[in-house]
Structure formats: C-alpha cells, structure tokens
Amino acid sequence: MDNKELLTMIRQRAMTWTGEEYDPVTRQEVKELLKDRSKESELVDAFYRDLEFGTGGLRGIMGAGTNRMNIYTVGMATQGLANYLLRQFPGVGSSSVAIAYDCRNNSRLFADTAAGIFSANDIDVYLFDDLRPTPELSFAIRHYGCRAGLVITASHNPKEYSGYKVYWDDGGQIIAPHDVNIIAEVKKIKSINQVKRDPNPERIRMIGEETDKAYLEKLKELSLSPGVVERQDDMKIVFTPIHGSAVRLVPMALRSYGFKNIISVAGQDVTDGDFPTVVSPNPEEAAALEMAMDKARETGADLVMGTDPDADRVGIAVKDNTGSLVILNGNQTASLLLYYILKRWEELGRLTGKEYIAKTIVTTELLADIAGKFGVECYDVLTGFKFIAGLIRKYEGEKVFVAGFEESYGYLVGDFVRDKDAVLSCALIAEAAAWARDQGKSFYDMLIDLYIEFGLYRENLFSVVRKGKSGAEEIMAMMERFRNSPPETIAGDEVMTVYDYLKQKSFDTISHLRRDIDLPKSNVIQFLLKDGTLITIRPSGTEPKIKFYIGVRGKLESREDYPEVCRQLDERAGKILGALGIS
C-alpha cells in the first residue's frame, strides 16, 4: 500500500468517528483533523492502527482515534475483558472487579467508563472514590475477593499518555494464560456498538477510607524496628508525590510507623496531570527530585523520597560523607533495603530456611550475595513485576516470600500486595535509614559497608534510541547480530556463558554444554564474562530503544577508595559498550 492509498484508508477510518454514536467533542476533534491539512501526520498517527492491547493492557497518547486512549478504546478493551470474565466465571454476580486511577488527565473519566461497562455486563465493581496508588488496587483485589482489577495509569510516562493495566484475582498483573486469552477477547471487539454502555449503578460500590485503613494496617505489620523509630522519630524526611497518587498515603504510612518530621514539597503536593513542576514525573530521572532536594538542603533533611504518579516506584536521595545530597539508584536502594530486612529477620529469629527473595535478571547480583549470606534463596525472573507476583503464587504455602526487587526503582516487601509498592517501600526505607542512624551511621555509610563486605557492584544502563519503522528494524538487526554471532571476547575479557531467553537456552563456551532456561520466552540476551561482568541486552517493550545493562564488580578496601574504584568500573563499562559497537 503506497502513501496515497494509506492516507485514503486512514481518512475513511476517521470519517466513521464523526457519526452520531460518538460524542460531540470527539466528533469535532476528528473533523478538525480531517479538515486541516497541516495536521495530516497527527491524523495518520491517530488512526493508522488500533491501539494495541498488550500483555499488560493499554498505553498510549490521549485523544480521538483508534490509536489513542479515549473512552471508546477504553470501552472496547473493557468489553473484551468483561467477556473473558463472564466466560471464566459464568453466572450473574459471579464476578467482581476493583478499579483505581491515578492523577492523570481523564483518569477518573476512564475509570468511570470502565465501571459503567462492567456493571452493564452484570459484573460488580469496587471503584475508588478518588485517586489511589496502584499497589492499593492490588491489595483491594484480594481484600474484596475480586476476580480481577484495573488501574488507569501510564506510570511515569509523559503527561500526554494514559494507560489501562489489568490484574488477576491474586492481585498480580495478568500473566499466561490469562494475558493472551484476554487479548484474544479484546481483539474480537471491532466496534463500539458491541460495547454494553448502560451502567447499572446498583452494581457499583464506592470504596475509600475503609480500604486505606485496612491497607495501612497490613503495611504497619511489616515494621521491624518500632523501638528504633521511637528513638529516631525526629529524623527529617522530605517526601514528594510529584503531583501523583501517593500524596496522602505515604505521609500516612510514615506517621503510622512513628515518624513525626515529614516535610512536604508544597508545589508538588498539588494533584495535577500536567505535572507542571517537572519535565518528566519519573523518579529515575534526577530532575524529578530537584525540588525535593532543594527543600532538603533548606531544612537539613536526612532523607529525600519521591514517588511516580501511580506510586509504585520510589527514588531516594541521602547525604554522603561530606554532607552533600546524592541520589541512589534502584540497585543501591534495593540492596540497602534487603540487607536491613534480612539482618532484622535474623536478629528477630524469623529465618527458618524456607525464605526466598526475587529479582529481575537485570537487577544487581549484589542482592543474591546478600541473600546468600543469610541463607535465603534468590530467584531470577524476567523484567516485569508480574513475574515476581507469579513466583509468589507458585510458592504460596510452600515457601516464605520476603521481598522482590527491580532495578527501575520498584520494590515489594511481604505478599499482601502483589506488585511493586512505593508506599510500603517509603515506610521501610525510612525505617532502615533510622536503623542506620540509631547506630551512628548514615544510610550512605551503610551502603559503603555493603560494598566493602560484598564487593563494589556497579551497574550502568545505556539506552540507544531508534525511532520509527527504520529504527525498529535496526534494533531487530542488532538483536539478531548478538544472537546469531555472539562475541568470543568483549573488551579483552572472555565470554564464558551466553544466555538467550528467546531460545530459552544457555551456552557454556568452555564446556560447550547447552542448558535450558526455565523462564518464559523473552527477547533478551546476556553475556557473562570471565571477570564476572554481566551484560544484558534487550529492546524496550514501551519505547523505541534498545537497552544495554552492564554490571561490573570490583574490590573495595576502604571508604576512601570508593570514588576511584567507581571511576575505574565506569571506565570499564564504557570500554565494554564500545566493544559492542555502541556509541
């Protein structure tokens, strides 16, 4: 199909959205796209395909069009999900869903739309009365005995985006076989005329403070050092929700633990889907924490914490040994949190030999070392917290889940939530920092102590952006090159093992033995070098980029050596990247 034919097809698709079955605002928006030739590229992007319902749900730019997030694409996805639930659990009133939403523009509208469609299909709905953190949605599913759950969020994406994330009855994001089965049902919905749009208010129950209370009570049970917090309750904590859904729950959680000196960032406590004070509401980016760090410098705070819009990720900053604030990365925070938890479990006599932790394959190996020190198993899973939730379900009643981690600032402790949880993470991170302070140490001191004991693990993430169709083809070609012609050496070091998660095989270059990888298929390749360096290469699932994770390790003899060893390891990572042909 040439460009002219494609544009004709797109204009025909767009014309259907000017019919009476669409609301006046949508009709007018589409008419303007059709009329204004300067908006042709916008028209193409809005209608050239249907917004894809993937293994987690929907995510896209908001606006009119088949490739946009709007009440019609949300409605069709919801009808598909409702049909699947009705097939799985036949009978009127046999299914119920919980629905939450974040601070983004149109989030409440999309949540109400979905609630109405579920109710029209005789499915009971527990709908939050205001914005709530995603992890509380996970909790609510199990708390109310729901068959599924839905949260309207685009996580930390830019303000133009919204999303639709689906959960199953265990409180975890959907995984096989439900993910592919739901996708198949959604694909059967070809028209909005297939969507039941007559809400039944009797099937919609509003929930709010009573759910918050139950969630916070479970969260408080995770506290390991109430006496420490009582002694350190004056520790200054700056917290920012970055305009998002943690604005109430994180301060409430901190206070329930006993912290009294919680300092807010007034300009960012305002719920606003335009995120007016930041370029990106992503705590992985230093700029998102700038206002909070300024407040910490002004007040002399010991700890800075910032959560993303749906409150499943948290970034932190602490004082280094010079008193300057430094941002810790996700691997560092995870390591500190895990060490604190396992050390306290050991001191409290909770370790019985049946405990385990989970981490994604791109998360620091330091976690495995820490777990090993305490006799705790460590499982690796593919990138995505849904796989950690799947592991919890697999071993439920057999082993004790302690915590799960992903390097992209996502942590979970305990199993009453089945997704990464920034609310409980903030409470336990603050408690861990207070524990260090109670021993006359800073959180930063505690991190350096870990590196001296276990080795200085240094993880670097490099992303190569390749936009458009040609970019996607280039990324695919890169993956094929690494898969079909793996290097024998990288930056002068021998490749010992190649892990191909798409083929679900590993290859030992010394023994030439091939072994099965007992994880689902995924387009990921890893190279383990002789010096212990682990290189992971994978295309992003949500952005036009390919990611290179390079984990190097060195010996740290003293605190004074830390800057120099970091420099050496970063230099090593740069040479590895160059050897891979990436600049």
Give me the sign of the Cα torsion angle 34, 40, 45, 49.
positive
CATH class of 49-209: alpha beta
Give the H or E element holding residue 573. Answer: helix 562-579
Strand partners, 411: 405
Residue-wise DSSP of 473-498? HHHHHHHHHHHHS--SEETTEEEEEE
- In 10 A of CB 61, how many CB atoms? 18
SS3 92: coil
What would the two tokens of residue 14 be?
Answer: 């767009």
CATH class of 234-453: alpha beta
Residue-wise DSSP of 75-90? HHHHHHHHHHHHHHS-
What would the two tokens of residue 520 be?
Answer: 């689902």
Topology annotation, domain 456-579: TATA-Binding Protein (3.30.310)
Instruction: Please state, in angstroms and rounded to a whole number, the distance separating the CA atoms of residues 378 and 503.
Output: 23
What is the DSSP secondary structure assignment for residue 223, as one 8-state letter?
-
Strand partners, 534: 528, 551
Angle at 226 (CA atoms; ends 221, 227), nearest 5 degrees: 160
Amino acid, single-letter form, for residue 499: Y
- How far is CA 422 from each of CA 3, 113, 209, 316, rounded to the nearest angstrom? 46, 27, 19, 11
SS3 258: coil
Q: Which of 243, 384, 238 is nearest to 305 (CA)?
A: 238
Buried b (16+ CB within 10 A) or exposed e, 100-121: bbbbbebbbbbbbbbbbbbbbb
> What is the full per-residue pLDDT of the chain (583 aa) written as tens digits?
567 888 999 999 999 999 999 999 999 999 999 999 898 999 999 999 999 998 889 999 999 999 999 999 999 999 999 999 999 998 777 899 999 999 999 999 999 999 999 999 999 999 999 999 999 999 999 999 999 999 999 998 899 999 999 999 999 999 999 999 999 999 999 999 999 999 999 999 999 999 999 999 999 999 999 999 999 999 999 999 999 999 999 999 999 999 999 999 999 999 999 999 999 999 999 999 999 999 999 999 999 999 999 999 999 999 999 999 999 999 999 999 999 999 999 999 999 999 999 999 999 999 999 999 999 999 999 999 999 999 999 999 999 999 999 999 999 999 999 999 999 999 999 999 999 999 999 999 999 999 999 999 999 999 999 887 788 889 999 999 999 999 999 999 999 999 999 999 999 999 999 999 999 999 999 999 999 999 999 998 767 899 999 999 999 999 999 999 999 999 999 999 999 988 7
CATH 3.30.310 domain residues, the chain: 456-579
Q: Which of 318, 560, 304 is nearest to 442 (CA)?
A: 318
Asked if 72 and 62 count as a contact pair (C-beta separation under 8 A), the reply is no
What would the two tokens of residue 304 be?
Answer: 């800075």
Residues annotated catalytic, as ranges: 155
Outline where 261-323 has alpha helix (H): 290-299
pLDDT tens for each residue of 336-359: 999 999 999 999 999 999 999 999
Over pLDDT 90: what percentage of the chain?
A: 93
pTM of the model: 0.95
CATH 3.40.120.10 domain residues, the chain: 49-209, 234-453
